[in-house]
């Protein structure tokens, strides 16, 4: 009896007869020879039949099987350097095959380049193609790795609500939905405030889930629905937070390099850019960053680019600034100590410099931008209340949040890691929309 195997296991079954269940990704025939490129969800493998080796009816069926038909194919695995596939290098010599369903002959996704609009309209098919399949396999590995690292380092996963009351920051960038007699609920932009409650019961926690932003951002780095991984730690200052950031990011990169090498190779990713990722990451202050941007601007020839790099102390970075900064480093870089005025109300001020907050962003290399944003949180109840008022936030909505500071307040810190931006960077791809199975952007909700 031959075992049913997964394509990723082919190397273990060399010279054995096996079955593989999957779909016809491509078919090509050359007279008395037919090749099927079969995908089974775990990889892509070439299957071959010679006309003289199989019966005439079977050969005829193979020659005519439509792309995307679901089949079970049986045969002997053999090593062959000519065999394409992921991982490739092995092929199956067909002895039997069974058609589960012969696909219709008008499958829309021809094996060629497609425009953005067409590819996105056919996202439900696009994810079958090797590039998208590889990216999403890497996404899953990134998520597994994040959870592994935090689970192994004393964190507990406690997820936070998606439906939240009016609160946090202004409501202009929140999606709202009717909520029974309460009026409206808002889709969460962050689980942070609830995370802060959780640390006083569990010390180190993380939340992982979707977040929603109704911003009209239309760039390669933005989605309206994206996934964020948010750790929060009691008894933790900004330096310790950065250590957690660099260690967890390094772990993620190493896991992907080890476990998803064929996928990275199929994407054409230059992994030499990732091999060097090791702690410590460079840490530069906002003040130093402003100075660096000024120098970069001074040596920039292109007047348009020069204009984009205009900057003065007190502004928040735009994409051009982040990109210019990260090009100076070959590792992710921490920028810390942003001006209080551009950051959220809950960030702890710098000791002796109240105009600066204990905040930090981690910028990915190669122009991929901010992948982590975090801070040490205000632990003093009086200061927190004052900041709420300064930001014109409703005190009663934050009653529970303020109460946290009255019963066992401690220095604490946390950050949010954007999963899609991290996957974009690791995969080296151009647009964030390819890093999530069904992206939601300002212009698209289908499929």
Q: Smallest gap, in angstroms, from Cβ of residue 2 to RNA? A: 20
- Between CA 48 and CA 150 the distance in angstroms is 45
Q: Smallest gap, in angstroms, from Cβ of residue 381 to RNA? A: 19
Closest to RNA by CB, 256 vs 293, is 293
Q: Smallest gap, in angstroms, from Cβ of residue 323 to RNA? A: 8
- Between CA 363 and CA 361 the distance in angstroms is 6
- Between CA 145 and CA 152 the distance in angstroms is 10
215 near RNA (CB under 7 A): yes
Q: Smallest gap, in angstroms, from Cβ of residue 130 to RNA? A: 8
- In the list 1, 15, 56, 112, the residue contacting RNA (rule: CB under 7 A) is 112
The 10 Å Cβ neighbour count of residue 425 is: 25
222 near RNA (CB under 7 A): yes
182 near RNA (CB under 7 A): no
Stretch 39-78 residues interacting with RNA (CB under 7 A): 46, 48, 50-52, 64, 66-67
Segment near RNA (CB under 7 A), from 113-121, 151-159, 240-248, 270-278? 113-121
Stretch 231-270 residues interacting with RNA (CB under 7 A): none
Stretch 364-423 residues interacting with RNA (CB under 7 A): 373, 416
Q: Smallest gap, in angstroms, from Cβ of residue 1 to RNA? A: 26
Segment near RNA (CB under 7 A), from 133-141, 196-204, 245-253, 436-444? 436-444
Closest to RNA by CB, 33 vs 143, is 33
Stretch 12-41 residues interacting with RNA (CB under 7 A): 26, 28-33, 35
Q: How many residues bind RNA, per CB under 7 A?
A: 65
Per-residue binding string, RNA, 305-344, x by CB under 7 A, is ---x-------xxxxx----------------------xx
Closest to RNA by CB, 84 vs 279, is 84
Closest to RNA by CB, 39 vs 253, is 39
Q: Smallest gap, in angstroms, from Cβ of residue 213 to RNA? A: 6
Closest to RNA by CB, 189 vs 326, is 189
- Give the 3-state DSSP-derived string for the chain, with helices as H, strands as E and coil as C: CCCECCHHHHHHHECCEEEEEEEEEEEEECCCEEEEEEECCCCEEEEEEEHHHCCHHHHHHHHHCCCCCEEEEEEEEEECCCCCEECCCEEEEEEEEEEEECCCCCCCCCCCCCCHHHHHHCHHHHCCCHHHHHHHHHHHHHHHHHHHHHHCCCCEECCCCCEECCCCCCCCCCCEEECHHHCEEEECCCCHHHHHHHHHHHCEEEEEEEEECCCCCCCCCCCCEEEEEEEEEECCCHHHHHHHHHHHHHHHHHHHHHHCHHHHHHCCCCCHHHHCCCCCCCEEEHHHHHHHHHHHHHHCCCHHHHHHCCCCCCCCCCHHHHHHHHCCCCCCEEEECCEHHHCCCCECEECCEEEEECEEEEEECCCCEEEEEEEEECCCHHHHHHHHHHCCCCCHHHHHHHHHHHCCCCCEEEEEEEHHHHHHHHHCCCCHHHHCCCCCECCECCC
- In the list 114, 147, 283, 306, the residue contacting RNA (rule: CB under 7 A) is 114
219 near RNA (CB under 7 A): yes
176 near RNA (CB under 7 A): no
80 near RNA (CB under 7 A): yes
Closest to RNA by CB, 36 vs 252, is 36
- Between CA 160 and CA 228 the distance in angstroms is 12
132 near RNA (CB under 7 A): no
Binding site for RNA (CB under 7 A): 26, 28-33, 35, 46, 48, 50-52, 64, 66-67, 80, 82-84, 91, 105-108, 110-118, 120, 168-169, 173, 189-190, 192, 213, 215-222, 308, 316-320, 343-345, 373, 416, 431, 441, 443-444
């Amino acid at each position: 009896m031959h075992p049913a195997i997964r394509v990723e296991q082919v190397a273990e079954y060399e010279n054995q007869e096996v079955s593989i269940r999957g779909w016809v990704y491509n078919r090509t025939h050359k007279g008395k020879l037919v090749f099927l490129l079969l995908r089974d969800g775990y990889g892509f493998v070439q299957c071959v039949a010679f006309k003289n080796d199989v019966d005439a009816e079977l050969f005829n069926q193979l020659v005519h099987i439509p792309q995307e038909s679901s089949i079970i194919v049986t045969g002997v695995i053999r090593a062959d350097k000519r065999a394409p596939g992921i991982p490739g290098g092995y092929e199956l010599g067909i002895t039997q095959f069974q058609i589960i369903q012969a696909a219709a002959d008008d499958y829309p996704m021809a094996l060629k380049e497609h425009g953005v609009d067409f590819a996105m309209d056919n996202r439900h098919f696009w994810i079958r193609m090797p590039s998208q399949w590889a990216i999403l396999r890497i996404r899953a590995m990134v998520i597994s790795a994040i959870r592994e690292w935090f689970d192994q380092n004393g964190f507990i996963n406690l997820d936070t609500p998606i439906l939240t009351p009016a609160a946090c920051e202004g409501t202009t960038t929140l999606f709202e939905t009717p909520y029974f007699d309460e009026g409206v609920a808002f889709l969460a932009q962050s689980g942070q405030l609830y995370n802060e409650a959780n640390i006083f019961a569990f010390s180190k926690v993380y939340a992982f889930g979707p977040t929603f932003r109704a911003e009209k951002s239309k760039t390669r780095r933005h989605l309206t629905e994206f996934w964020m991984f948010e750790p929060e730690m009691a008894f933790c200052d900004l330096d310790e937070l950065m250590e957690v950031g660099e260690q967890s990011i390094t772990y993620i990169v190493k896991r992907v390099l080890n476990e998803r090498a064929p996928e990275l190779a199929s994407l054409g990713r230059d992994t030499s850019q990732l091999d060097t990722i090791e702690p410590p990451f460079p840490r530069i202050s906002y003040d130093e960053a402003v100075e660096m941007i000024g120098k970069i601007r001074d040596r920039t020839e292109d007047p348009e680019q020069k204009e984009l790099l205009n900057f003065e102390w007190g502004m928040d970075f735009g994409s051009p600034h982040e990109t210019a900064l990260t090009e100076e480093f070959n590792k992710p870089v921490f920028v810390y100590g942003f001006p209080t005025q551009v950051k959220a109300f809950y960030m702890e001020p710098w000791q002796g410099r109240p105009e600066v907050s204990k905040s930090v962003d981690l910028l990915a290399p190669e122009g991929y931008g901010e992948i982590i944003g975090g801070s040490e949180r205000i632990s003093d109840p009086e200061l927190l209340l004052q900041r709420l008022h300064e930001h014109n936030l409703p005190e009663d909505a934050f009653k529970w949040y303020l109460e946290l500071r009255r019963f066992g307040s401690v220095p604490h810190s946390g950050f949010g890691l954007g999963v899609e931006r991290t996957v974009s960077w690791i995969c080296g791809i151009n647009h964030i929309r390819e890093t999530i199975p069904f992206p939601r952007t300002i212009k698209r909700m289908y499929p």
